[in-house]
A and B are shown apart, each in its own frame.
Chain A
């Protein structure tokens, strides 16, 4: 039954996505590599982009009626300056605030409703409900950008969208900026004498994220030990942890990505039976992050990393 969970679809999409990126590297056909002069955006098209299922997507001219059914892709498109070309986004896309929000769903896509916007490019995170098949029948190019496994996946997706939307140089500079920010956060965290333990919470039934996810990679880069990694043999990416294991692991830092879905905070975590003894609860190092920011692999992953880095510095200072 887990396939019904959003995480599970990300789980399935992950390995396929990795394969697609490998193909991308091999063919050097994505990220605007075909274009001789990426900065000259009019000369950029046509462009060919390789897809997870082995499809290649041909975009003959710069799209001006983009429909995004992925909240992460929406954030990426706006961050690379393609926002004005986006005419409709799905019901989950809520950032930036001026997105053209509609009732379209990326989870249960309605092909006719999407076609009603007469799009010249559709972007989604998963091929659900016959989306790719339907768009191909309508001759509308469709890109699937699945949940990233790590930051390199995110960078590649930003470049793919840059190539598809005709903003390759903007995408390159966004990626360069993100890389340098990640580097500065890593440098800002001193190499601790003792590795700090972190527990990342996706909901209040203790689903977590291992280092094999883009969330876990942030902790890994900051030199933290992720307690969920003990469960990778059972569930490689998003395991549900036992309460007694979390308590016994005694994490120094608890990151709550369930502040919106489940209204969790230091007080509710401290009130859970047996959780009061955890170091993070005793020292108040239970931080709430915006559920959306911590579940999207777009440009705002930098905001998430900054919040975590700040608290890692605090924990180290207190130690």
Chain B
């Protein structure tokens, strides 16, 4: 595919309607609406279902109570209002942030690496977060920095350090000529970090339960402080990836063609990887390393709606958030009042669903 477009058109590619990508579909409004409805529906199920039975009317009144023109707060049982506002609502909101971010970060990674198996943990974010959390649990238990527990902070730093390390390694070894060098650097860093984590865990056996409890997911203890902690990073990350959705489409053309457009592949890759890592590190820090969402959601959208990143990116946010809220609702209701690890649910619900989608869309390009 030879494209004779001048470098000046690169700006138009990033912003306005690119002539180059005319063939690719825009986001169909019906799917945008379906995504919004799915998210609202899953959030409604999430706030209505739980180990403690609270009626629809009470939930609705509790949701409206903070608004000044609904003076109904007094009619709600304070015990139920406490459960809803202190425990259930923040958990649903955190599920939205974690699911949306992991799905869109996965889509972004698949775009910049042009690798269908890429997920948000490809460059070692999960290994780094787990190592950071393990070190904090083993050597500085109960410590907090300006009121914030050190474990999520250490996980955040660990995830960032792992990806930065992979990037630096990939650049020094292969000069980032190809995505493969970066992926291999990520694999090497992740393996190295995992080995240190396993070693620390074996030598500090008393902290093993805490470490696994952390790795299996922390939505169990979610509160508004977790929501506020990750919100800025998640917002920035999703916004940057969203603004680069056309450039991600351009990347699918191949590196030679993009270079001829005057777009720096390396620069796009760096910006998108940094943004996706920032969001991933933040949600992993509060939610643990929840697998599968970052792969299954973007691919399901590609199969059902289309391959363009102008479709995949916004729909990944909506359906990723909806899926995780639903999975978390299952995690806290199936065996109530006990909890199931959310990673078990995402894989148990996600894998069969994905197989059905793949079978029913046979012939569609993956």
A interface residues, Cβ below 8 angstroms from B? 1-2, 4-7, 91-92, 105, 107-108, 202-207, 230-231, 233-235, 239-245, 247-248, 250, 261-263, 272-274, 277
Contacts and interface: CB of A to CB of B under 8 A. Distances in A.
24 contacts: A1-B343, A4-B208, A5-B208, A105-B202, A203-B213, A205-B218, A205-B221, A206-B221, A231-B338, A239-B335, A239-B337, A239-B339, A242-B51, A242-B339, A244-B88, A245-B52, A247-B82, A261-B210, A262-B142, A273-B86, A274-B82, A274-B85, A277-B78, A277-B79
A204 B206 CA distance: 14
Contacts of B338: 231, 234-235, 239-242
B336 interface: yes
Contact of A231 (B141, B225, B335, B341): B335
A204 B221 contact: yes
A230 B87 contact: no
A100 to B, nearest CB: 19
A203 B224 contact: no
Given A6-B209, A7-B209, A262-B210, A273 B223 contact: yes
Contacts of A231: 335-338
A243 B221 contact: yes
Contacts of B336: 231, 234, 242, 245
A248 B212 contact: no
A234 B330 CA distance: 14
A2 B212 contact: yes
Nearest to B88: A244
Nearest to B90: A273
Interface string B111-124: 00000000000000
Contact of A1 (B218, B220, B221, B341): B341
Contact of B141 (A205, A245, A263): A263
B223 A1 contact: no
Contacts of B212: 1-2, 4-5
Interface string B187-202: 0000000000000001
Given A203-B210, A205-B220, A243 B141 contact: no
Question: How many B residues are at the interface, by size bracket?
Answer: 35 or more
B206 A261 contact: yes
B143 to A, nearest CB: 9
A271 to B, nearest CB: 10
Interface of B: 50-52, 78-79, 82-83, 85-88, 90, 141-142, 202, 205-210, 212-216, 218, 220-221, 223-225, 332, 335-341, 343
A205 B79 contact: no
Given A206-B220, A244-B51, A247-B87, A263 B142 contact: yes
A205 B213 contact: yes
Given A203-B210, A205-B220, A242-B332, A248 B79 contact: yes
Contacts of A243: 87, 220-221
Contacts, number: 124
Given A242-B338, A273-B86, A107 B221 contact: no
A233 B51 CA distance: 14
In the A-B complex, the 10 residue pairs with the smallest Cβ-Cβ separation, listed nearest first, are: A274-B86, A263-B142, A234-B335, A245-B337, A231-B338, A273-B223, A239-B338, A234-B338, A273-B86, A245-B51
Contacts of B207: 261
Contact of A244 (B50, B202, B216): B50
A248 B52 contact: yes
A261 B209 CA distance: 9
A107 B213 contact: no
A289 B254 CA distance: 63
A45 B17 CA distance: 91
B205 A92 contact: yes
Residue of A1, A6, A230, A243 with most chain B CB atoms under a 10 A cut-off: A243
B142 A273 contact: no
Given A261-B141, A262-B142, A263-B142, A242 B209 contact: no
A299 B67 CA distance: 57
A207 B223 CA distance: 18
A207 B340 CA distance: 11
A202 B223 CA distance: 20
Contacts of A250: 79
A204 to B, nearest CB: 7
Contacts of A245: 51-52, 336-337
A243 B85 CA distance: 13
Contacts of A261: 141, 206-207, 209-210
Given A263-B142, A273-B90, A230 B82 contact: no
Nearest to A248: B52
